[in-house]
């Protein structure tokens, strides 16, 4: 975390890949009886964009934004962007919704729905599988399962094609984005060494130089006081932004617009491959969803594990490198279904 503001700004663009039909938040809670960090994020108070004060100094603007992000006020991320950037993001997300192949997108959403249903309806079966029980992390997994299910619910509620087509960044950052941040913050704290988002408030920020619409700030990582980095900022339409983000913005947006022009064709071409993957995943999830007792669930779970291992071996059987000679070092992998003797016979000798 050497560049908190840069990450915050980039997060605003990443969040924009999500969507919402309105600014209302979606209530998601842990199933009754499950311990751990609550995933009920319906009551999160997000600062409205109008509340953000744009400081004249780079240091003041950065400190104000980091303080809001540390409190989960994602609306401040949106408000920190110039209006032209906001328009670009709305245009890009809406363009994706209008251009992506509906069949392919439906396959992806359908698989996420299947997974959400499994995590919601079969949570106890998952926890009681021998694999989990012998993992040594039963308590962590017991807390994580409803958390992941809740996270998927937020995504499903905000990633429909209709919502993408009418994406409104201001509404998204005022609601669903705050939920996603709160969920990620809660989930991270379940892990060993997890850090609360509030830790951002301890970031040390000092002005190295500032002149006109340019400034350099020294930003010190709160987790490692010895780790500091000087970051350049520029002011765009009254908003202080990381120079790297601002300098590349127009070129990146133009590249995305060019890609959106071919999205209908490329996503339609990818629909078959996506369908194959989602079909295999759905086929693996079906026996788990149909299991009515722990024994049948365990059996289905073991079969899924074997299928996953088989797929991993199949895909692992093909070299992803190509930089070294075949058979050199431990990274050499034989093609699946072909004996090494056959490969040797087929391979030409060096003298040929």
Residues 124 and 26: their CA atoms lie apart, in Å, by: 24
Closest CA to 6 of 264, 203, 283: 203
Instruction: Return the higher-pLDDT residue of 269 and 227.
Output: 269
Asked if residue 184 belongs to a domain, the reply is: yes
Percent of the chain clearing pLDDT 90 (strictly above): 48
pLDDT digits (tens, 9 = 90+) for 141-189: 898 898 889 889 988 888 889 999 999 999 999 988 888 888 787 777 6
Whole-structure pTM value: 0.70
Asked if residue 299 belongs to a domain, the reply is: no
Domain count of the chain?
1
Asked if residue 170 belongs to a domain, the reply is: yes
Strand partners, 215: 210, 233
Structural domain of 197: 4-203+244-263
Asked if residue 123 belongs to a domain, the reply is: yes
Which tokens go with 345? 């016979």
- How would DSSP label each residue in 32-93? TT--SS----TT--PPPGGG----SSHHHHHHHHHHHHHTT-THHHHHTS-HHHHHHHHHHH
pLDDT digits (tens, 9 = 90+) for 255-270: 999 999 999 999 999 9
Asked if residue 285 belongs to a domain, the reply is: no
The answer to whether residue 218 scores a pLDDT higher than 50 is yes
Instruction: Return the higher-pLDDT residue of 164 and 309.
Output: 164
Asked if residue 226 belongs to a domain, the reply is: no
CB 18 within 8 A of CB 176: yes
């Amino acid at each position: 975390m050497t560049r908190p503001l840069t990450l915050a700004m980039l997060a605003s663009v990443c969040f924009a890949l999500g969507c919402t039909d309105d600014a209302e938040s979606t209530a998601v809670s842990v199933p009754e009886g499950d311990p751990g960090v609550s995933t009920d994020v319906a009551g999160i108070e997000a600062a409205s964009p109008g509340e953000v004060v744009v400081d004249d100094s780079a240091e003041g603007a950065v400190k104000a934004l980091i303080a809001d992000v540390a409190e989960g006020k994602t609306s401040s991320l949106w408000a920190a962007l110039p209006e032209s950037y906001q328009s670009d993001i709305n245009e890009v997300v809406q363009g994706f919704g209008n251009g992506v192949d509906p069949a392919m997108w439906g396959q992806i959403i359908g698989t996420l729905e299947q997974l959400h249903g499994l995590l919601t309806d079969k949570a106890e079966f998952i926890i009681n599988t021998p694999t989990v029980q012998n993992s040594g992390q039963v308590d962590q997994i017991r807390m994580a399962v409803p958390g992941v299910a809740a996270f998927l619910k937020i995504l499903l509620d905000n990633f429909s094609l209709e919502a993408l087509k009418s994406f409104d960044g201001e509404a998204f950052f005022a609601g669903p984005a705050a939920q996603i941040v709160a969920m990620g913050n809660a989930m991270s704290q379940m892990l060993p060494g997890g850090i609360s988002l509030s830790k951002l408030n301890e970031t040390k920020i000092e002005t190295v130089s500032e002149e006109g619409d340019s400034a350099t700030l020294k930003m010190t990582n709160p987790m490692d006081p010895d780790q500091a980095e000087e970051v350049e900022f520029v002011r765009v339409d009254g908003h202080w932004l990381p120079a790297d983000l601002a300098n590349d913005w127009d070129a990146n947006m133009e590249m995305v617009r060019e890609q959106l022009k071919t999205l209908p064709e490329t996503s339609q071409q990818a629909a078959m491959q996506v369908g194959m993957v989602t079909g295999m995943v759905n086929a693996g999830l079906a026996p788990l969803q149909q299991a009515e007792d722990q024994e049948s669930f365990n059996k289905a779970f073991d079969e899924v594990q074997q299928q996953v291992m088989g797929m991993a071996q199949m895909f692992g059987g093909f070299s992803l490198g190509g930089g070294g000679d075949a058979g050199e070092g431990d990274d050499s992998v034989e093609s699946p279904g072909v004996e090494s003797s056959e490969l040797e016979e087929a391979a030409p000798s060096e003298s040929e």
